[in-house]
Amino acid sequence: MRTLLTLIACCCAITAASAANDPLISPSTKSAVAGGGTGSIASIRPSSPGSSSASASASSSSPTRKLTEREREAEAEADLSAKIAARLAIMRANQQARAAAAAKAKKVAAATPPAPKVYSNHWSYEGENGPANWGKINPEWSKCSTGNRQSPIDIRDGMKVELEQITFDYHPSSFNVTDNGHTVQVMLSGGNFLTVNNRMYELIQFHFHRPSEERVNGKGYEMVMHLVHKDGEGKLAVLALLLERGKPQPVIQAVWNNLPLEKLETLAPSTVLDPLDLIPARRDYFTFMGSLTTPPCTEGVLWLVMKEPVQASPAQMALFSRLYPLNARPIQPGSGRIVKESN
Ligand SMILES: [Zn+2]
């Protein structure tokens, strides 16, 4: 009886109406359900052994009739119990099947990789794709906004020390010129090296910015050249040459003479240029750690900024300004980094 009551309690959601229509429940059970008056399963459950109504009814009936009633009651109880158990088993099986199907669908969804998002590689010096948004355009450029060793900086409060001289091992080299849409860039054939801190870096390319990206004690220059070097481990060192108005510069003239007529085209002249002709007579410099000044703004770049500016003629300056009137990243926070300078 206790088992039956538990079963009834468990399936209280099954109404008499649904039980009456259920083909799994026999007609005799249906009539027992329907005969309950209120229509609920609870209303047709047999009396419990200790209930007063059952004992009162039993005491007033004949022994033969009591036996028959008990038999019927037991039969109905067993029949109902079996039907409810069968129905519960079906409900549990259905529930398990639904859960399994949902889990399978979830697994399939998890196993299917989302379509890769395509990020833009377009950046500029102004507007929506300007320096303030570089870090948001492409996740690979996040250092542009989250880095703490970004370039350029306003160089000030340097520690004056006896810095080791930079050794230049530069030679006349073949070269080509490209207007890459952000600047004019000159690629050099190999074999040009600078050595500093006992490390040798090879000159790969140089390019121009207007106005100068670096400042010295707040002072900006009309232009700057960046000579990008790489060592055997792939570490970068950038030598910055600040440009001021003065006499014509022969290396810059050789580059201007060989500008391609269209952007993204490369012109490879048969002449050579000697990068050593760019280096000022006085070799004092500032040095600090920084980054590329264009996306992806990679950090870990050794910066060497020559103190003495290099002269270029007003006509040479004007020619570049026709191509790029502004291609300089704004000053970035120093973030407590150490700047050393030649004494
Ligand atoms: Zn640069």
Both 334 and 195 in one domain: the answer is: yes
Both 156 and 251 in one domain: the answer is: yes
Predicted confidence band at 59 (pLDDT cuts at 50, 70, 90)? Answer: very low
The residue among 8 and 325 whose pLDDT is bigger is 325
**C-alpha dist (Å) from residue 153 to 80, 223, 290, 291:** 87, 15, 8, 10
Residue numbers of the domain that contains 81: 2-111
Q: Which of 29, 178, 213, 287 is catalytic?
A: 213
Share of the chain above pLDDT 90, in %: 66
Q: Which of 184, 10, 164, 166 is nearest to 81 (CA)?
A: 10
**Whether residue 226 lies in the annotated active site:** yes
Greatest Cα pair distance in the chain? 134
Q: Give the domain-ending residue among 89, 111, 133.
A: 111
The pLDDT assigned to 209 comes to 98
Start-to-end Cα distance in the chain: 101
Highest mean pLDDT among 3-12, 18-27, 230-239: 230-239
Rg from Cα positions in the chain: 44
Q: Which of 178, 207, 214, 294 is catalytic?
A: 207
Tell me, yes or no, whether 146 lies in a domain. no
Q: Give the domain-ending residue among 58, 91, 111.
A: 111
Separation of 227 CA from ligand 1 center, angstroms? 8
**Whether residue 171 lies in the annotated active site:** no
pLDDT tens digits along 276-308: 999 999 999 999 999 999 999 999 999 999 999
Q: Which of 69, 171, 182, 244 is catalytic?
A: 182
Both 83 and 157 in one domain: the answer is: no
What is the SS3 assignment for 338?
coil
Separation of 119 CA from ligand 1 center, angstroms? 23
Does the pTM exceed 0.85? no
pLDDT, average across residues 19-46: 39
Predicted confidence band at 27 (pLDDT cuts at 50, 70, 90)? Answer: very low
Chain-wide mean pLDDT for the chain? 85
Separation of 29 CA from ligand 1 center, angstroms? 90
Domain count, the chain: 2
**Whether residue 167 lies in the annotated active site:** no
The pLDDT assigned to 65 comes to 58
Q: Which of 29, 178, 183, 226 is catalytic?
A: 226
Both 163 and 268 in one domain: the answer is: yes
Q: Is the pLDDT of residue 31 over 90?
A: no
The pLDDT assigned to 107 comes to 84
Tell me, yes or no, whether 135 lies in a domain. no
Both 101 and 196 in one domain: the answer is: no
Q: Which of 42, 37, 47, 51 is nearest to 69 (CA)?
A: 47
CATH number at residue 299: 3.10.200.10
Both 162 and 61 in one domain: the answer is: no
Alpha carbon 131 to chain centroid, angstroms: 19
Tell me, yes or no, whether 131 lies in a domain. no
pLDDT tens digits along 313-341: 999 999 999 999 999 999 999 999 999 99
Tell me, yes or no, whether 251 lies in a domain. yes
pLDDT, average across residues 223-233: 98
Both 182 and 311 in one domain: the answer is: yes
Predicted confidence band at 76 (pLDDT cuts at 50, 70, 90)? Answer: confident
Both 242 and 318 in one domain: the answer is: yes
Both 161 and 278 in one domain: the answer is: yes
Separation of 151 CA from ligand 1 center, angstroms? 10
Helix H, strand E, coil C: the string for 42-110 is: HHHCCCCCCCHHHHHHHHHCCHHHHHHHHHHHHHHHHHHHHHHHHHHHHHHHHHHHHHHHHHHHHHHHH
Separation of 98 CA from ligand 1 center, angstroms? 62
Separation of 323 CA from ligand 1 center, angstroms? 16
The pLDDT assigned to 81 comes to 85
Q: Is the pLDDT of residue 82 over 70?
A: yes
Tell me, yes or no, whether 325 lies in a domain. yes
Q: Which of 273, 237, 281, 236 is nearest to 256 (CA)?
A: 273
The residue among 83 and 158 whose pLDDT is bigger is 158
For residue 151, the one-letter residue type is S
Separation of 209 CA from ligand 1 center, angstroms? 6
pLDDT, average across residues 115-122: 88
Tell me, yes or no, whether 217 lies in a domain. yes
Both 24 and 168 in one domain: the answer is: no
The pLDDT assigned to 204 comes to 98
Tell me, yes or no, whether 87 lies in a domain. yes
Separation of 92 CA from ligand 1 center, angstroms? 70
**Whether residue 207 lies in the annotated active site:** yes
Separation of 198 CA from ligand 1 center, angstroms? 24
Both 172 and 277 in one domain: the answer is: yes
Q: Which of 29, 178, 183, 209 is catalytic?
A: 209
Tell me, yes or no, whether 281 lies in a domain. yes
pLDDT tens digits along 178-219: 999 999 999 999 999 999 999 999 999 999 999 999 999 999
Both 95 and 203 in one domain: the answer is: no
